[in-house]
């Protein structure tokens, strides 16, 4: 599923640039994605759109996010730390954070991989038509061991 999401991000500038569901399914099939993977990704994207509509309420900048036990188990320490890092850097406001958490919790299995969470963060930005700044893109795409120290 994550391969489909990355492909959509790289191919379509914004979600509204994507063709309709049937045509997009045909295009993704033609590229070589499996039908089950396509349907899972498209369903996940529908949930992302719904999450975007649901979290439009303003939150206090001083609000504290408390994670439930199931969120802690599913997301894991590395993912929660990364979300906190993005929040403290001022690039992931509360409503976007909630979208990230909602979509991460929608992924089956236990124990979110940090690389998968980074794709979810990227897709949240994409769904809102926002481009993360260069430093955040570096955090999302470049492995720590490949970074150059200046």
Instruction: Mark 45-77 as b/e (b = at least 16 C-beta within 10 Å).
Output: beebeebbeebeeeeeeeeeeeeeeebeebbbe
148 pLDDT more than 50: no
Taking only the tens place, the pLDDT of each residue in 36-71 is 999 999 999 999 988 877 765 556 666 788 999 999
Which whole-number Å values give the CA distances from 30 to 25, 27, 34, 70, 84, in the listed order? 9, 5, 10, 38, 39
What's the pLDDT score for residue 18? 86
> What percent of the chain is predicted at pLDDT more than 90?
54
**Percentage of residues in the chain with pLDDT exceeding 70?**
85
Mean pLDDT of 8-15: 86
The per-residue pLDDT for 122 is 92
| pTM given for the model | 0.83
Domain tally, the chain: 1
pLDDT at 109 over 90: no
On the 0-12 / 13-18 / 19+ scale of CB atoms within 10 A, 1 is buried
CB 118 within 8 A of CB 80: no
Residue 5 has pLDDT above 80, yes or no: yes
H or E stretch covering 146? none
107 Cβ neighbours under 8 A, 6+ residues apart:
44, 116, 120
Structural domain including 33 reads 2-146
């Amino acid at each position: 599923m994550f391969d489909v999401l990355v492909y959509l991000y790289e191919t379509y500038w914004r979600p509204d640039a994507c063709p309709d569901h049937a045509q997009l399914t045909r295009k993704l099939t033609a590229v070589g994605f499996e039908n089950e993977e396509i349907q899972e990704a498209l369903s996940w994207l529908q949930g992302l759109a719904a999450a975007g509509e649901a979290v439009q309420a303003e939150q206090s900048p001083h609000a504290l996010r408390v994670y439930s036990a199931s969120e802690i188990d599913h997301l894991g320490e590395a993912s929660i730390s990364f979300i906190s890092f993005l929040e403290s850097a001022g690039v992931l406001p509360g409503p976007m954070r909630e979208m990230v958490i909602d979509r991460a919790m929608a992924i089956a299995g236990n124990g979110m991989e940090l690389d998968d969470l980074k794709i979810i963060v990227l897709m949240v930005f994409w769904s809102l038509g926002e481009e993360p700044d260069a430093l955040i893109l570096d955090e999302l795409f470049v492995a720590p061991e490949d970074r150059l120290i200046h």
